[in-house]
Structure 1
């Protein structure tokens, strides 16, 4: 739900410019407007017929809900804008209409209060016969009042039945909200049961409702998350009932473990066993831990078992158990080792953390696939204690397994810190040169050797490597840019080659790239003392491409 003020500016602020503009086109689609004391409802006909409601408070605040898909996501949609503008059009009479609605409510209440019991009962029976939702709510209240748990559970099963909403056995998006509203009534009944002095019965009803809701959710389009919200309130209702009823702690512990392992609702309803610590007490928590350990030992790689064990161990400050849980299912890329190292660091056990990180590197089958965060972690630990040779060796091994510009830079930084970069650089370039000789220019770009040399600002060596082994257009452009001051003739040849294919293409992005190259070409001619050649080149270019107005405009802006 979104809130704001009932003004045109307020509506625009709530909806945003786009929805506000679209809402202007729906003014004629608003019908059945009903103004109450603090609310306005209407029907707005769009792709379908939507029910729209604005809520007004006494301070002028405004909120709105619409059952269109966009509105269900909590947005102030175009249908709400249309109703808001319709109300604004009659704003002068709005206070009187709200007052009239207030008087109607008061008159109705006075009339109902004055009715004899028989007439009031007759009226209620008439409404119950016509309104199925009202009948179900009252049946739940009646069953609860007379202590009829079987009746309450029967009504709850009806409320959670998807049958009335399902087409071909599935509740479509358009009907999902209505089903979620009805399922919410079941939860309300469970809460009422608990608060009326029947919390033990409420526990039984809540657990049954969890199973029924879990069975239903696979057959409902819950894109809006309505069923998930019902599940959250159902979990709260169960906890409230347990705190009131104080059930057997060992039985509750067994149920909580079963729920956590997916034996109850397969994860639809999120229940944290630790929320029940005050209900379980020392004996129940002991049982909970014993059952969790037993389950984990039976399936050390099970996600639910690991999650439960980890949660309980962390809550109890049991770092060794947390580590044991992770260590039972180590990943092959060192990620789990890194998590363990982090847990040990948090417990002040830095030496053990370092050993786990080193173990992660050793046990990684292929350093090309190692979790790079583990490499960074271990490097940082080596650097802190001045183990510089180990830090360099780590970066060297990672670079050799995974030669990228990043790993090259990391090796360079480590080697410079250890004052051994010249030797390390020669080894790294030898590896890159051999790799370039094997692959030459591949489908994904030029030799990585060229990039490394460019990053070292060794332009001459990069130029030689590009000439001998080839380079892609990106690399040649960088080379030309960096060499232009000292080798303008060589750079000019590159710029002209890169510009030629662009002259055969169209589009503003192409024109911007072409003009950028022309600026570089002009600078080369200036350095070579041949500005007349550039002027002739531009003149010929303008003559051939005179229909490309945007290109000519960009050239004129640069004085060409």
Structure 2
């Protein structure tokens, strides 16, 4: 505990969550200190249970059942508990020592009890705690192999009835339902542990179906049922490893599950996890069934994904390529996936062929996957083919005509030492677009943006004057030209400031003040500061009711 600081909490949570956590100090209640851990409740949107591990293997860590915490983040509620712990730092060592003493005392007392005394104690607790009684009843039925009793109890555990209102479990009750459903996982594990693994397989599959039905009627926004589903998947795998079921039957079930035929929706089972259970014969059946399913539905997402996983696991690059090649996207993205697979397999010639084919077969070069174009240009650069890179960038720019494709063409052409000629052709296209009022990004001619990006301010100003420009572009032009064309820039700033004087809001005031600073700079360059003073004085008089604006102007000495 001596090493815990606010800096530790801020590092784990981040500045935003740390600051928000400060506001929850009064919401922390029920602090309980153990040996190395501290728990509490923090009242936010809901009441959340939080736990800090003070000196675990990885140092300070924490868990919270709020949505953000469930994603593995160190949330504001944990920050609030951490700050509470720091505020009680002097008493913490004493509380930890007391916790160790209580634990040792309890363990010693239980160890000294006779069997009859322990049984009496357990029976007393079972009589007082209904949930404990149900858990122990289920474990008892599992231990004695009473399959019908376990099956009936699992059905009860997965029944939404006790938690549902009008047939639906609301968000506020979903956690409690998931906690109850989680006991089904423990029951199946107990069956496997008691030598009834084959029954465990059967009940795990039945529970998956019941959970799939239940999830349709539960607000599982926080993913609690997903955790139950993952537990059932693990319990099924453990049972299979213990029981060693028929490999062919297991392979068929896994294929059905992977392709969604079982409609469980929550248990993300990877058939490859069962390789040790299936053995060579079972894996052969699994691959055969996967191929048949894929051949019957080559565009099915589940079929493609399963085939790809099996092919990669077997190191069969050609099979992976065949899966992707059966359903090529018109924008070339699938060609890129294939090219990357071949690159990884150290088959660069074939990879380059697929990438070039993707561009060649694209129905619309304007809609081609830009990552494919980038990938191909990188390969051209690596293989000393700068002219091909320029040609591809030229074609891509001609199809899209954006500032980005212009910049990419410029970079490729400079690398090939041919930018002046390429620039002339590219600007001709943009000039024709501007003259025809074909709008680019931001609803304004790309020509002005391209010229500004080239630092050709005078030509950009001329183009804006002749073909028009967006206010955003005029502002950029004025900023770039202010030092050499202060009178022209001043006209732009005054025009842009005028409509802002009719609007309200802090964001508007910040824009207006920024323009006023530029206007002042122009008057300074023009040697007319008195004109600026007159302008600002009149503006302040007209805007006197806008107190936030005047405060902002005062802060900038306007």
TM-score of Structure 1 vs Structure 2, range by shorter chain: 0.7 to 0.9
The equivalences for 1:99-114 within 5 A come to: 103=105, 110=112, 113=115
Aligned equivalent of 1:216, options 210, 214, 217: 214
Q: Residue 385 of structure 1 aligns with which residue? A: 383
Q: Residue 412 of structure 1 aligns with which residue? A: 410
Moved more, 170-179 or 306-315: 170-179
Whether 2:357 is the aligned partner of 1:359: answer yes
- Residue pair 1:54, 1:84 contacting (<8 A) in 2 also: no
Shift of 1:6: 13
Partner Cα separation in structure 1 for residue 407 and residue 211 of structure 2:
55
Partner Cα separation in structure 2 for residue 83 and residue 463 of structure 1:
61
- SS of the residue corresponding to residue 263 of structure 1 reads coil
Aligned equivalent of 2:281, options 275, 283, 286: 283
Partner Cα separation in structure 2 for residue 202 and residue 216 of structure 1:
20
Flag the 1:183–1:79 CA change in 2: closer, same or farther, 3 A. farther
- Residue pair 1:6, 1:88 contacting (<8 A) in 2 also: no
Superimposed CA distance per residue, residues 99-123 of structure 1 (whole angstroms, 9 cap, x where no aligned partner): 57865675577566454x9xx57x8
Q: Residue 436 of structure 2 aligns with which residue? A: 438
Superimposed CA distance per residue, residues 374-404 of structure 1 (whole angstroms, 9 cap, x where no aligned partner): 1111112222223333222211111121111
Aligned equivalent of 2:170, options 159, 169, 172: 172
Q: Residue 320 of structure 1 aligns with which residue? A: 318
Superimposed CA distance per residue, residues 145-178 of structure 1 (whole angstroms, 9 cap, x where no aligned partner): 4333233222222222222222222222222222
Aligned equivalent of 1:348, options 340, 346, 367: 346
Q: Residue 307 of structure 1 aligns with which residue? A: 305
Partner Cα separation in structure 2 for residue 550 and residue 10 of structure 1:
35
Q: Residue 258 of structure 2 aligns with which residue? A: 260
Q: Residue 144 of structure 1 aligns with which residue? A: 142
The equivalences for 1:58-69 within 5 A come to: none
- Residue pair 1:36, 1:102 contacting (<8 A) in 2 also: no
Partner Cα separation in structure 2 for residue 293 and residue 438 of structure 1:
54
Partner Cα separation in structure 2 for residue 330 and residue 374 of structure 1:
13
Moved more, 535-544 or 246-255: 535-544
- SS of the residue corresponding to residue 427 of structure 1 reads helix
Shift of 1:77: 6.2
Partner Cα separation in structure 2 for residue 307 and residue 248 of structure 1:
25
Aligned equivalent of 2:26, options 19, 24, 27: 24
Q: Residue 424 of structure 1 aligns with which residue? A: 422
- Residue pair 1:24, 1:82 contacting (<8 A) in 2 also: no
Flag the 1:544–1:177 CA change in 2: closer, same or farther, 3 A. closer
Q: How many residues are matched?
A: 547
Q: Residue 251 of structure 1 aligns with which residue? A: 249
Unaligned runs of 5+ in 2: none
Partner Cα separation in structure 1 for residue 421 and residue 43 of structure 2:
76
Flag the 1:169–1:386 CA change in 2: closer, same or farther, 3 A. same
Q: Residue 486 of structure 1 aligns with which residue? A: 484
Aligned equivalent of 2:158, options 157, 160, 163: 160
Partner Cα separation in structure 2 for residue 248 and residue 231 of structure 1:
24
Shift of 1:127: 5.8
Partner Cα separation in structure 2 for residue 34 and residue 529 of structure 1:
72
- Residue pair 1:23, 1:81 contacting (<8 A) in 2 also: no
Q: TM-score, normalised by structure 1?
A: 0.83
Partner Cα separation in structure 1 for residue 68 and residue 271 of structure 2:
36
Flag the 1:503–1:418 CA change in 2: closer, same or farther, 3 A. same
Partner Cα separation in structure 1 for residue 382 and residue 440 of structure 2:
40
Partner Cα separation in structure 2 for residue 47 and residue 409 of structure 1:
48
The equivalences for 1:445-484 within 5 A come to: 445-484=443-482
Q: Residue 295 of structure 1 aligns with which residue? A: 293
- Residue pair 2:35, 2:100 contacting (<8 A) in 1 also: yes
Flag the 1:387–1:80 CA change in 2: closer, same or farther, 3 A. closer
Q: Residue 517 of structure 1 aligns with which residue? A: 515
